[in-house]
Structure 1
Amino acid sequence: MSRGGELSERALVLAPTGRDAAIAAAILKEAGAPALVCDTLETLRERLDEGAGLAVVVEEALRDGDLSALSAWIEDQPSWSDFPFLVLTQRGGSVERNPGAQRLSVTLGNVSFLERPFHPTTLVSAVRTALRGRRRQYEARERMEEIRRGEAMLERRVAERTAELEAANRQLAAQISEREKVESALRQAQRLEAVGQLTSGVAHDFNNLLTVILGNVEQMRKHAEDPKLIRRLAMMSEASQRGARLTAQMLAFSRQQKLEPRAVDLNETVQSMGDLLQSTIGGSVQIAAPRLAENLWPAMIDPTQIELVVLNLAINARDAMEVGGSLTISTDNVVLGEPEAAEAPPAGEYVMVSVSDTGSGMTEAVRARAFEPFFTTKEVGKGSGLGLSQVFGLAKQSGGGVGIETEVGRGTTIKVFLPRAHEAPAGRTADAGAAPAAHDNHLVVLVVDDDDAVREVTAGLLTDLGYNVVEAGSGGAALDLIEQHGEISAVVLDFAMPGMNGADLARELRARRPRVPILFATGYADAEALMGVGDHQIVHKPFVQAELARKLSRSFTTARDRETRPGVRLS
């Protein structure tokens, strides 16, 4: 155990006159206690700084000297130290015999008095007693230092443990936040799935009804002469087309529709929508000149859906503004980094179209729920809450995303990011006014549909086009007709049918008649179910005669090209 070093065990002896100093030092040396004789109080004070176990001082040196420096040193001792003094006196240590003893006790603190003359053994005993007390002080110092080291180590461990707990708490908080995000995304997906299931369940039957209406209206218009009747038939046709678009919007919102993305010039799309936006928005809102980026990249998107996206955003912007507000549509090329929000797209190159308004803006709570289906801040009856959900669904299904910049009272900008296409947009093709007729009056088309009215309307349209038509109401009946009629040239096939559906029937038909082209007529089919089926092989219900004729004619052309192409195996 450390005792303060070798010097801290020695005795300092101060007896300036006579032979007391030499005698005391000699006695202590013989007893094995090192001693150092000091000539003055100043020397004693200096040696105390070097280290000592006690001081043996004659009373005369203390009575006649300046004790201020020594008293200051005693006052400055650390808490563990109480340095011992042994005073050699002629009159003992009692106050009655030695009035100066009280002053020395106050000044020196830990002081013992030894009356002269004394026996050497008495001196040695007194010195050893003082040194034992000093050693116990050193031991106390050591314990205090150990306690301090222990406290420091404990504080360090507490700090480390606290830091570990804080890190664990931060990690737990991050995990909780991430779990909440995942749960929120799951709830959103479940809502979308529920709406998708509802929409897809209705879409097929609803589009079948629209097919019957449109087909009959088209047949009646061919023979109508009364202007009022023609006008009413046109209104019925337009209403049916609007119903078809509504179904397509619902499917796009629920991400159930099979999109047909292609390279699209968004600048051209925005410019072509000017009249439509003005008539839809009305005169209460000013539509500013669009800010179209130069050298805009082509976007990969279903062209029929992007117009719906812009229109929905414009309607939302109008509803967020008072009379006199301003709406601006912009386009730009953007390169995005890693996404910071769930609705944002992954890193990459995108073509952006945005709609900005000067309306009320969104609070953070509203912004967090903006893409939830059926969430709306509009009054009852003035909003379905599907506009932004549909935009979000289409953007995500197309491989892009959506961003919102908003400030309460200062307006909102909604940005739709669409993947960049690396091919030039195809030119717009004008719709043919009249349906092309059959090239050969002997061509036989098999129409397969479980809905009698739809099958009858489809057969009527094909008959008017010059085709010979045979009908089947199920997959089994269709296979029987294929076996009975070897001259069947093409099949128009409903995709969703009870029992043997369109996909199963198509596989059977290709196995038996690999060269017969198949045109799928569908009111709704899951995107995965139509995987691998080309656009030229699908006609969407409700269809008009011209569309049916073009798709069927193209099916014949594609089949002939494949048949004459070397090395191509028909399947």
Structure 2
Amino acid sequence: MSGGGSLSERALILAPTGRDSAIAAAILAEAGVAPIVCRGLADLLAHLDAGAGVAIIVDDVLRSADLSPVSKWIADQASWSDFPFLILTQRGGSVERNPFAQRLAATLGNVSFLERPFHPTTLVSSVRTALRGRGRQYEARERIEEIRRAEALLERRVVERTAELESANRQLAAQIAERERVETALRQAQRLEAVGQLTSGVAHDFNNLLTVITGNIEQLQKRLDEPAVARRLDMMAEASRRGASLTAQMLAFSRRQKLEPRPVDLNVTVRSMGDLLHSTMGGSVRILEPDLQAGLWPAMIDPTQIELVILNLAINARDAMEVGGTLRIATANVLMGEPLLPGQPPAGEHVMVSVSDDGSGMTPDVLARAFEPFFTTKDVGKGSGLGLSQVFGVAQQSGGGVTIDTALGRGTAIHVYLPRAQSAPIERGVADAEPPAAPRADVVILVVDDDDAVREVTTGILNDLGYIALDAESGRAALETFEARSDIEAVILDYAMPGMNGGDLARELARRRPGLPILFATGYVHVEALAETPEDHIIHKPFKRRELADKLARAVA
């Protein structure tokens, strides 16, 4: 008999006595099922594997006493339930009367029976049926394992993808926060720039006005002997000085004022301001002994501006406290990291001066607007709102920054950071110790300004000083005068003029006559425009007679 079997299909025949085993083996071999007769359990185990094409045929002679331990061992192995068992039993035999069959049927789920004598076709059919069941079971198990592996892979990928998404979300959140920070800084910078342009423009016109007022007052004070009139002129002069201080604050805030930074010892500055601070505070608050760090680095700052900064901060601290409050001033060397918020100083070595109080503190809303120009929490008429704006402007323009530590009801500490200077401080007054040379009587000076009143005051002061003063109202008129008069030895220019501004005119004059002394009289100018101009060649409006005389004398000497 031949069949369509596969040599990969095997039948393990456990028949120690050999009864009917040779017949069964021959029938299966003819049908294409490879028979393997096993004489004992060890022989059976040697040929057993987990493949799908394996069936186990057991002769029920295992009921005999000598093989009962073997049958028990087979029945006790739970893993054997994966294999199909075909039990050859005597015709008319009963499973109920066969302990071996009962044990296998109860423990192993895949057991069938074949009575002897059996027909060859019946044997082959029974084995093949068992093998097909075993194959389907094996395939199902393999499919289940594949599904489990796929589920594990999917779960692992889900975990990995979730981690990737969480990381991406964190990066996105950080980018959004950074973008919001940058946009906030940009909006603040744009607001400050817009208001800065407004304040600098107002300061320019106001400085021209103050130049006329102070110039005429100085001229009148020289010619009047009446005490009452002189007293009124002194009051007018004081009012003009206050106006000049206000415009200086506006220009410092808007960064349109050219600073004259130099190495400064802030410890010396704070000590020298002791009397001024006590008189300004008026006894309403207690000023503690300054906490000044030993070995303080020199700071790069305009000496006059840092005094205004400290004074402004002290006045703000006084106004934030009740009578009897405490004011503290401290200095320190600080190494700053990268800035995190607008207004903070850049990374590097800085010298810090701080002014702190134990007053009312700031709310978050007030803190967010602290540096805005004209913003103030003081009553009407008690503050311009430019104090902290000036502090911010001076610090930023000097290459530093400002931070505020505050808590509502617990006080405020404002820290001003200035870049560390790389040279020793210069004692004030050393550079100006040598008095200016007296002017010659025949020195001709050209004054160029688009404001008629400013020109008239300036030329009047120059005439009083002994100079011969010429004037022009524009750059074009100045060039015409310059070509007509070869004896002009110096020029005083207003920078902000319509048409040809002072910078353009200065370059043209220098081209026509190299080495010509040129001084800029200005109340408003972009800092970059005069960055290369020495401070001795800049006269700040409203200027004093002494300042004009000193700088002009040095220029023409």
Report TM bin, short chain.
0.7 to 0.9
1:134-533 → structure 2 map (5 Å cutoff): 134-361=134-361, 367=367, 370-373=370-373, 385-407=385-407, 410-429=410-429, 438-533=438-533
Alignment pair present for 1:55 and 2:40: no
SS at match of 1:249: helix
Aligned-partner residue type, residue 478 of structure 1 = A
Asked if 2 retains the 8 angstrom alpha-carbon contact of 1:339 and 1:345, the reply is yes
Moved more, 186-195 or 21-30: 21-30
CA displacement at 1:284 relative to structure 2? 3.9
Moved more, 456-465 or 170-179: 170-179
CA displacement at 1:92 relative to structure 2? 6.2
* Corresponding residue pairs, total: 545
Measure the CA separation in 1 of the matches of 2:113 and 2:382.
106
Asked if 1 retains the 8 angstrom alpha-carbon contact of 2:249 and 2:386, the reply is no
CA shift in 2, pair 1:517/1:170, >3 Å: same
Q: Deviations over 1:56-99 (max 9, x none)?
A: 3355757996888656643x68xxx7432223333569999999
SS at match of 1:519: strand
What residue in structure 2 maps to residue 565 of structure 1? none
Aligned-partner residue type, residue 262 of structure 2 = R
Measure the CA separation in 2 of the matches of 1:35 and 1:387.
106
What residue in structure 1 maps to residue 36 of structure 2? 35
Asked if 2 retains the 8 angstrom alpha-carbon contact of 1:401 and 1:418, the reply is yes
CA shift in 2, pair 1:144/1:428, >3 Å: same
Asked if 2 retains the 8 angstrom alpha-carbon contact of 1:436 and 1:546, the reply is no
Aligned-partner residue type, residue 109 of structure 1 = G
Q: How high is the sequence identity, in percent, across the aligned residues?
A: 69
CA displacement at 1:377 relative to structure 2? 5.8
Asked if 2 retains the 8 angstrom alpha-carbon contact of 1:401 and 1:417, the reply is yes
CA shift in 2, pair 1:338/1:49, >3 Å: farther
CA shift in 2, pair 1:290/1:150, >3 Å: same
Q: Deviations over 1:414-442 (max 9, x none)?
A: 32221121222222229999x97943222
1:104-115 → structure 2 map (5 Å cutoff): 105-115=105-115
Q: Deviations over 1:236-259 (max 9, x none)?
A: 222211211211111111222222
Measure the CA separation in 1 of the matches of 2:287 and 2:73.
94
Moved more, 87-96 or 291-300: 87-96
CA displacement at 1:116 relative to structure 2? 2.2
SS at match of 1:529: helix
Aligned-partner residue type, residue 37 of structure 1 = C
CA displacement at 1:321 relative to structure 2? 4.0
Asked if 2 retains the 8 angstrom alpha-carbon contact of 1:54 and 1:86, the reply is yes
Aligned-partner residue type, residue 254 of structure 1 = S
Q: Deviations over 1:335-358 (max 9, x none)?
A: 333334343333322222122333
CA displacement at 1:187 relative to structure 2? 0.9
CA displacement at 1:153 relative to structure 2? 3.1
CA shift in 2, pair 1:44/1:373, >3 Å: farther
Measure the CA separation in 2 of the matches of 1:201 and 1:92.
123
CA displacement at 1:538 relative to structure 2? 1.1
Measure the CA separation in 1 of the matches of 2:406 and 2:63.
87
Moved more, 484-493 or 177-186: 484-493
Calculate the aligned-residue CA RMSD, in Å: 3.8
Moved more, 165-174 or 524-533: 165-174
Asked if 1 retains the 8 angstrom alpha-carbon contact of 2:353 and 2:416, the reply is yes
Asked if 1 retains the 8 angstrom alpha-carbon contact of 2:21 and 2:37, the reply is no
CA displacement at 1:533 relative to structure 2? 1.8
Aligned-partner residue type, residue 179 of structure 2 = R
CA shift in 2, pair 1:61/1:282, >3 Å: farther
Q: Gaps spanning 5+ residues in structure 2: where?
A: 1-7
Measure the CA separation in 1 of the matches of 2:100 and 2:304.
115
CA shift in 2, pair 1:69/1:305, >3 Å: farther
Aligned-partner residue type, residue 191 of structure 1 = R
SS at match of 2:88: strand
SS at match of 1:533: coil
Measure the CA separation in 1 of the matches of 2:233 and 2:39.
131
Measure the CA separation in 2 of the matches of 1:396 and 1:189.
12
Aligned-partner residue type, residue 331 of structure 1 = T
CA shift in 2, pair 1:134/1:306, >3 Å: same
SS at match of 2:34: coil
Measure the CA separation in 2 of the matches of 1:532 and 1:507.
13
SS at match of 1:427: coil
Measure the CA separation in 2 of the matches of 1:157 and 1:281.
70
CA shift in 2, pair 1:542/1:523, >3 Å: same
Aligned-partner residue type, residue 277 of structure 1 = L
Moved more, 43-52 or 120-129: 43-52
Measure the CA separation in 1 of the matches of 2:93 and 2:311.
110
Aligned-partner residue type, residue 298 of structure 1 = P
What residue in structure 2 maps to residue 551 of structure 1? 551
What residue in structure 2 maps to residue 563 of structure 1? none
1:56-71 → structure 2 map (5 Å cutoff): 56-58=57-59, 61=62
SS at match of 1:536: helix
Q: Deviations over 1:450-491 (max 9, x none)?
A: 222222222222222222323333333333333444433332
What residue in structure 2 maps to residue 562 of structure 1? none
Moved more, 436-445 or 370-379: 370-379
SS at match of 2:158: helix
What residue in structure 2 maps to residue 569 of structure 1? none
What residue in structure 2 maps to residue 560 of structure 1? none
Asked if 2 retains the 8 angstrom alpha-carbon contact of 1:45 and 1:69, the reply is no
Q: Gaps spanning 5+ residues in structure 1: where?
A: 1-7, 558-571
Asked if 2 retains the 8 angstrom alpha-carbon contact of 1:22 and 1:37, the reply is no
Q: Deviations over 1:164-221 (max 9, x none)?
A: 3333333332332222222212211211111121112212210011111111222222
Measure the CA separation in 2 of the matches of 1:431 and 1:16.
123
SS at match of 2:530: coil
Asked if 2 retains the 8 angstrom alpha-carbon contact of 1:252 and 1:394, the reply is yes
TM-score relative to the length of structure 1: 0.82
Q: Deviations over 1:273-294 (max 9, x none)?
A: 2233333344443222111122
Q: Deviations over 1:392-449 (max 9, x none)?
A: 332222112233444555444332221121222222229999x979432222322222
Asked if 2 retains the 8 angstrom alpha-carbon contact of 1:25 and 1:37, the reply is no
SS at match of 2:413: strand
SS at match of 2:447: strand
Asked if 1 retains the 8 angstrom alpha-carbon contact of 2:258 and 2:527, the reply is yes
Measure the CA separation in 1 of the matches of 2:551 and 2:239.
24
Q: Deviations over 1:539-565 (max 9, x none)?
A: 1110111111101111112xxxxxxxx
SS at match of 2:248: helix
